[in-house]
Chains A and B, each alone.
Chain A
Amino acid sequence: MILLAVDTSSIGSEVWMAVVTCFAAIFTQNILLSYFLGMCSFISVSREVKTAVGLGAAVVFVMTATTVLNWMAYWWVLVPLNLEFYKYILFIIIIAAFVQLIEMMIDRYSPALYQSLGIFLPLITVNCAILGAVLWMVIREYSLIVTVGFGFGSGVGWMMAIVAMAGIRQRIDESKIPAGLRGPGITLIIAGIMALAFVGFTGVLQ
Chain B
Amino acid sequence: MNGQTTTKTTNQIILDGLWRDNPIFRQILGICSTLAVTNNVTNTAVMCISLSLVTALSCATVSALKEWTPKTVRMMVQVLIIAFYVIIVDILLRAYWPDMSRSLGPYVGLIITNCIVMGRCEAFAQSNRPWPSFLDGLFSGLGYSVILLVIAAIREVMGMGTLAGYPLPYFSTQWDKWVIMVMPPGAFFVLACLLWVCRSIGIKGKKA
In the complex, A144→B183 CA distance in Å? Answer: 30
List A contacts of B76 (CB < 8 A).
Answer: 96
The interface on chain A, measured as residues whose beta carbon lies within 8 A of the other chain's beta carbons, has a size of 43
In the complex, A131→B109 CA distance in Å? Answer: 9
In the complex, A135→B36 CA distance in Å? Answer: 15
The interface on chain B, measured as residues whose beta carbon lies within 8 A of the other chain's beta carbons, has a size of 44
Q: Which residue of A lies closest to B186 (CB)?
A: A192
What mask results when residues 36 to 80 of chain A are scored 1 for a CB within 8 Å of chain B, else 0?
111110011000000000000000000000000000000000000
Majority DSSP secondary structure for residues of B touching A: helix
Check A132–B110 contact: CB distance below 8 A. yes
Check B112–A88 contact: CB distance below 8 A. yes
The reply to whether the CB of A136 lies closer than 8 angstroms to some CB of chain B is yes
In the complex, A180→B87 CA distance in Å? Answer: 38
What mask results when residues 166 to 181 of chain B are scored 1 for a CB within 8 Å of chain A, else 0?
0000000000000010
The reply to whether the CB of A17 lies closer than 8 angstroms to some CB of chain B is no
In the complex, A195→B82 CA distance in Å? Answer: 31
The reply to whether the CB of A163 lies closer than 8 angstroms to some CB of chain B is no
Q: Which one, B23-31, B61-69, B134-142, is touching chain A?
A: B23-31
The reply to whether the CB of B199 lies closer than 8 angstroms to some CB of chain A is yes
Given A38-B32, A180-B199, A96 contacting B79 (CB threshold 8 A): yes
Check B31–A85 contact: CB distance below 8 A. no
Check A192–B105 contact: CB distance below 8 A. no
Check B106–A136 contact: CB distance below 8 A. yes
Q: Which one, A101-109, A113-121, A181-189, is touching chain B?
A: A181-189
What mask results when residues 162 to 206 of chain A are scored 1 for a CB within 8 Å of chain B, else 0?
000000000000000011110011101101110110010000000
Q: State which residues 1-33 of B face A: CB under 8 Å.
A: 28-33
A to B CB contacts below 8 Å, 16 in the list: A36-B32, A36-B184, A37-B32, A37-B33, A40-B28, A89-B80, A96-B79, A127-B113, A128-B33, A132-B106, A136-B106, A184-B28, A188-B191, A192-B192, A195-B185, A199-B183
Interface positions of B (Cβ within 8 A of A): 28-33, 35-36, 76, 79-80, 83-84, 86-87, 90-91, 105-106, 109-110, 112-115, 118, 180, 183-189, 191-192, 195-200, 202-203
